[in-house]
Structure 1
Amino acid sequence: MLRAFLIALTGLLLALGHVATASSQESTPAPRELVIGTKQAAPFAIKGTDGVWTGISIDLWQRIAEKLNLKYRLVEEPNVEGLIEGTAAGRYDAAVAALTITGPRAEIIDFSQPFYRTGLGIAVSLSAPARWSAIVNTMMSFGFLQAVGALVGLALLVGLMIWFFERRRNEHFGGGARGIGASIWWSAEAMTQASTGVRSPITFAGRTLAILWMAVSIIAIAVFTAGVTSALTTRALQGAVNNANDLASVRVGAVAGSATIDYLTDQRIKYRGFPTPPDGLKALRAGEIDAFVYDKPLLAWFVLQDYSSSMEVLDIVFDPQNYGIALPLGSPLRKDIDVVLLDTVHSDWWKQTLFRYLGER
């Protein structure tokens, strides 16, 4: 009887174990399908005509998802603001495109480790600017006006000093306003090496100052002329925009809502906003703006695809930026994604990916 009781008890325990195991398996939910936001930002996120997504960021996410056994589906957003807001609100489990890591964005969402370091670039038209336009731009530049002001100021100062030395012994420079006017006119005449018959100083101090002024003015005029000639030649050969500092004096375009706007605003550079990069590049080609500023790799891609014969991207990078994967605040995926991402960007696969899309070795 004892043996029968033990056998029955053992069978009961085994049965209960199977039931508990089955119940546990039934209660474990299947992995949830993640919703991943993206937007077209070639060459980082490219949507083909068949609806299939490719690109640097998309390929990177696919590799991460494979490593972590994540199921997901891509949802397209028309603009960056939609990606940021959707991720912050939890509509997206992650956002993958060409998203710049910034302070304001990091306040409402989390970012993965950076996977691409770049900066802003400038696209300009290859059409040579009109000569009159180059001359006007040079004449209105701060440096030119500053140089003219310095020359005029020196001429006025020397004229006043000549009047002070000559006013009592030289009747031509004597008197009040008439004498001051004659002195300033003589100073301008000496500076330009022109001769209009104006009498010269006769006092020792006046003649000494005149000799010094003639020598100094020759040098000043030569330097001024060389500077203007060099500026006009540079603008004629290279165009009105050669670096980021030139943006303050030309018509600038940028994508509304992009990180580029933060830079232009901080630098007090006036700009015209466009919905997309192609819209801005069309305006550049039409002559409505003089320069278009955007993330350099994206800008280079657009120009290479559609505008290689009419515009170029300057060989400069400014305002360094980092691209990352956006996640909701406190996302449990962040650490796992960072681990795989860091391993990936130091692999040969990543080097081959960058070379395939950007030609970078």
Structure 2
Amino acid sequence: MKHLDNAVPLARPKINLWISIVKSLLYRLPYPSFRHTLHLLVVLICLAAGSAPVAAQDSVVAEGPRDERSLRVGVYVHPPFVMREDDTFSGMAIDLWEQIAQSLSLQSEYVELDNTGALVTAAANAEIDVAVTNLTVTRERAERMDFTHPWFDAGQRIMVNDDRGGGFRDVLRGLRDSGHLRGYAWIAFVIAVATLLITAFDRRFNKEFPRRWRDGIAEGFYTVMSVATSGKSPQRKNYFGWIGRIWQGLWLVCGIAVLAYLTSSVTSVMTTLSLTNQINSVADLPGRVVGVQPGSVSERYAQQAGLNARRFAHIEEAVQALVDGRIDAIVGDAPVLEYYAHTNPEQPVTVVGPIFAPDKYAFGLVHGSDLTRRLTIELIGAHEGGAIEEIRTQYFGNDP
């Protein structure tokens, strides 16, 4: 660059000298009009020649190396796309971004946001330059910010609790809702009355029966429950002949009926719970409490579908609520749920149903950013060259 800076000042005095010499010669010509015409032509040629070094200088400056540019890169931790260990970020989205940023000589200053909604808002308000995570492209977001070319195809899926539907509380609630608890209350009343009657009867006619009421009631309760739960009566002395035997037979029939009722009612309730608590697709979500991420596509879908949604900032919090029974399912990005279930086999959770509400991930930028086109070109090149597929394979394996 120094040789161009020195060449321009030296070239212009020489041009001025030549113009002066040509003008003095032209004034000696006999025809003024011809003289003025030649004079104008010579001046134009000299000016054009004098501007050439300046144009060359501008061209060299434009083609020179660009200085490295520092960007505020907003991230939201959402494994496996963005993960954090101490002060270091990693993940598929981070690896892809750093590869592209290096090719464009861009320096990254990472800024962590609490959720996707906060990330979108920060980009829309120019608080960050680029939003990097598994950011879904939507029309609503595109009205607030710019998007690069998509680099990942995804969608929504459902995560459920494997142990859902067999707990004691669920069975008790089912018995109450079906009216069986009222029937159980009547059975308990009959058992209490029968216990008192047998105790009083044996105290009156059986000399070997315990004299203390406490011991007598315990013995009578044991006799009644033996009939109610097993359909068999303990060995008892018949004090009334054939009438007593008939009465004992009728009591055994009542005991068998009670036992059958208890068994069938509990079985029917558990079967109903097993069927009704199963969530296999998005069609099973109405009436259920689902966990979603604030500001995400899953939250918007839950709102549009009229689902009872609860917000959780991170997948770990939502899974804990699912295991505890505070929610019935989690609706979220399919690759995120699948990755969590795969890397946390100790958790009793499963991802079920096909992908619904398909979408695409891209990087987000401030509206009108001069980086949008450059990043898009790099992403298309990374896709065509197989770089994106190589990074995807590192986190998701060879399965499509």
Same-fold status (TM-score > 0.5): yes
Alignment-derived partner of residue 34 in structure 1: 71
CA distance in 2, matches of 1:103, 1:355: 29
Unpaired segments of 5 or more residues in structure 1? 1-8, 141-228
Decide whether aligned partners of structure 1 residues 321 and 279 sit closer, same or farther in structure 2, where only a CA change above 3 A counts. same
- Structure 1 pair 237–357 and aligned structure 2 pair: CA distance change class (3 A): farther
Alpha-carbon contact 1:247-1:269 (below 8 Å) kept: yes
Residue equivalent to 1:52: 88
> Which has the larger Rg?
2
Query: Compared with structure 1, are the counterparts of its residues 29 and 321 closer, same or farther at alpha carbon in structure 2 (3 Å cutoff)?
Result: closer
1:42 counterpart SS class = coil
Q: 1:317 aligns with which of 355, 375, 385?
A: 355
1:117 paired residue number: 153
- CA distance in 2 between counterparts of 1:347 and 1:237 reads 49
Q: How far 1:330 moved relative to its partner? A: 1.2
In structure 2, list runs of 5 or more residues that go unmatched: 1-6, 15-52, 178-266
Q: Give the SS at the match of 2:123.
A: helix
The letter for the 2-side match of 1:293 is: V
8 Å CA contact retained: 2:291, 2:329: yes
Distance in 2 of aligned mates of 1:135 and 1:100: 42
With the length of structure 2 as denominator, give the TM-score of the two structures. Answer: 0.57
Alignment of 1:38-187 (within 5 A): 38-49=75-86, 51-130=87-166, 133=170
The letter for the 2-side match of 1:88 is: A
Please tell me the residue identity of whatever aligns with 2:159: A
Q: Which residue of 1 aligns with 2:278?
A: 240
Q: CA shift at 1:30, angstroms?
A: 3.6
Matched, 1:268 2:317: no
Q: Pick from 305, 308, 319: which aligns with 2:343?
A: 305
Kept after mapping to 2: 8 A contact 1:131/1:236: no
Corresponding position: 1:332 with 2:370:
yes
**Structure 1 residue 124: deviation in Å?**
0.6
1:289 is paired with a residue whose SS is coil
CA RMSD of the aligned region, Å?
Answer: 3.7
- Give a deviation string over 1:303-352, Cα, whole Å, max 9, x none: 33335441111142111111110011111111111111112123333222
Give the distance between the partners of 1:246 and 1:116, measured in 2 at CA: 28
CA contact (8 A) 2:159 2:330 kept: yes
Deviation at 1:91, TM superposition (A): 2.2
**What amino acid maps onto 1:74 in structure 2?**
Y
Q: Per-residue CA shift, 1:279-312, capped at 9, x if unaligned? A: 1110100111111111111122223333544111
TM-score by length of 1: 0.63
8 A Cα contact 1:36 1:75, kept in partner = yes
Cα distance between partner residues in 1 of 2:165 and 2:13? 88
Residues 241-284 of structure 1, C-alpha deviations (whole Å, 9 max, x = no match): 11101100322221222211110111111112222221111010
Q: Matched residues in 2 for 1:278 and 1:10: separation? A: 67
Contact 2:80–2:395 (Cα < 8 Å) also in 1: yes
